[in-house]
Amino acid sequence: MRTIIGLAGVKTSGKSTATQAIQEVVEGAVEVALANKLKNTCAETFGIQRVALDDQRYKEVPFEVFGIKKTLTSDSVRQILSSFGIDTRAASELTSLVGMELTSPRHIAQIVGTQILRNFGADIHCENLELGSEGVYIVSDLRFPNEFEYFQRMAENDPNTTFLPLYIQRDEAEKHVTPESHASETSVFLFSDKCKKIDNNGPISALVEQVTAEVIEILKDKAV
C-alpha cells in the first residue's frame, strides 16, 4: 500500500515542521518535495548553494546585499530546459524573459518553476517526483490546484494508493500574502477548502499533535 500525504500552505505556515512531525511517527516516511528537482537545477544553473533555496534565513535575502547580480540568459534557459528533458529549441518561446534580473534565491525558484517550466505542462513537477509503489510519501509543498488534482486522480485510479491532503493554516503567514503576491503563494487558496485543515495558530506542540493524529488515523484505517 502507498500513502501520499500532501502538505499545502503559504510560506512559513509550518509545512517543514509538519513534515518532521510525520517522519518522527512514521518510520520510513519519505519527503518528496515537488520543488526538489527545480531547486537542484536552479542551484546548478545560477551557481548558488542549495541551502539558499531551502533555508528560510537565506531564501529572500537580496543578491544585491552581497554585491551579486543574477540575470536570466538564453544559456541559462536552455540549461534549465535540458535538465528537465525539454528540447532546448523551445527556449525560443521564452525570449520575453531573457534579461530579467533575478533578485533572490526564492525569486529564481519562482520564475523558473512557474514562468519557465510550467509553460511545458502544469504537472511537470509532479511528473518528476520519484514515488515507489509502497510506503508513505510526504509531498511537502503543494501549491497549485492541478498538483492537488494530480495526486487525487492518482488515488482514485489506483486502489493501492491513498491521498491525504493537509492544509496548514497560520494567520501570521497568510497576512503577508496579497493579490500581488506570486502565484505560487496565492494559488494555494484555490484548493485549501478541499484539504483537511490543520490550525497552526497556537504552539508548535498543537500543530504536531494535529498532524500526527490525522496521519495515524489514515494509516490505521488502511491497516484494517
pLDDT at 221 over 70: no
Among 216, 215, 214, 203, which Cα is nearest to 170's? 203
Instruction: Take residue 152 and report the three cell numbers written for it.
Output: 487525487
| Residues 6 or more apart in contact with residue 128 via CB below 8 angstroms | 37, 84
Hey, which residues does 71 pair with through a beta bridge? 101
Residue range 107-162, pLDDT digits in tens: 999 999 999 999 999 999 999 998 988 999 999 999 999 999 999 999 999 999 99
pTM of the model: 0.88
Q: Band the pLDDT of 222: cuts 50, 70, 90.
A: low
Mean pLDDT within 178-185? 90
pLDDT value at residue 224: 40
Q: Band the pLDDT of 223: cuts 50, 70, 90.
A: low
**Mean pLDDT score of the chain:** 93
